Amino acid sequence: MLFSLFFAALLSAATFAFSLPAQPAAHAPLSYTAYPLNDRPIVVIDAGHGGLDLGARFRHPFCEEKRMTLTCALLAKKYLNQLGYKVILTRSTDVFVSLPRRVHIANQSRCTLFVSLHFNSSSNADANGVEIFYCEKEKEDRRAKSSRKLAQSILGDLLQKTKAKSRGVKKENFFVIRESRVPAVLVEGGFITNPYERNLLKQRQYLDKIARGVAAGVDKYFKG
């Protein structure tokens, strides 16, 4: 009996291993760029919210910003690693991380970029699309110029991958992008209050597209 149970478990594990869906062509791995091992740029990916801080949420059907940002950050890390970048995550599990702590993680590392991931909500259910924020502390601020360039680069690739509506690149004083010492952007990847977009955002496949867009946009920024 024990033996047959063991055998059945083995068989179902094997079936599972062989029944994993093949990667669709549109989701083929990003090309690998060989930076010298000690010279790989470090990118900080910041999954917004976490722990007690749920971020934007929608009850029916259940949908939480903190979960979507984490999924997206982990996927973006994977794709950036494939492209040859080192990645530091401000959180890799469902924990609360304060805003100053997030900035501290970026500023005490030797990172070259900071990308914060969020999802939007609005009292207007029609509001939808992607927008990316950067901060300009003063006119002709060099960091702001680089941040804007990074925002434009990520927006272009995000739109290409997701076919979402562009709400553009905007200036804002959000703490994490204001206090980071390196070029920094905050990505709002879509509205959980819009029924159509919420349905997409609940799918891992769609978050994967956003993650690929972020990775490709960061890569273009470095090479542009």
Binding residues vs Zn ion (CB under 5 A): 48, 55, 118
**Cβ distance to Zn ion smaller for residue 118 or 198:** 118
Pairing label, strands 63-64, 113-120: unpaired
- Would you list the DSSP string of 29-97? PPPP----GGGPPEEEEEE--BTTB--SEETTTTEEHHHHHHHHHHHHHHHHHHTT-EEEES-SSS---
- Closer CB to Zn ion, 64 or 208, in the complex: 64
Helices 204-223, 65-82: axis angle to 10 degrees equals: 50
CB of 55 to Zn ion, least distance (A): 4
Nearer to Zn ion, 112 or 121 (CB): 121
Nearer to Zn ion, 65 or 157 (CB): 65
Nearer to Zn ion, 55 or 183 (CB): 55
Q: What angle is formed at CA 85 by the lines to CA 81 and CA 87, rounded to 5 degrees?
A: 75
Smallest gap from Cβ 158 to Zn ion, in A, equals: 16
The least distance separating Zn ion from the CB of residue 66, rounded to whole angstroms, comes to 8
Compute the half-sphere exposure of residue 1: CA atoms within 13 Å on the CB side of its CA: 0
Q: Provide, rounded to whole angstroms, the least separation between the CB of residue 171 and Zn ion.
A: 17
- The residue type found at 86 is K
- Min CB(2)–Zn ion separation in Å: 51
Residue 126, classed as helix, strand or coil, is coil
Cβ-closest residue to Zn ion?
Answer: 118
Provide the minimum distance between the beta carbon of 49 and Zn ion in the complex, in angstroms, as a whole number: 6
Q: Nearer to Zn ion by C-beta: 83 or 176?
A: 176
CA–CA dist 78, 65 (Å, integer)? 20
Could you tell me which of 50, 56, 148 has the C-alpha nearest to residue 101? 50
- For the record, the structure tokens of 197 come out as 């977009």
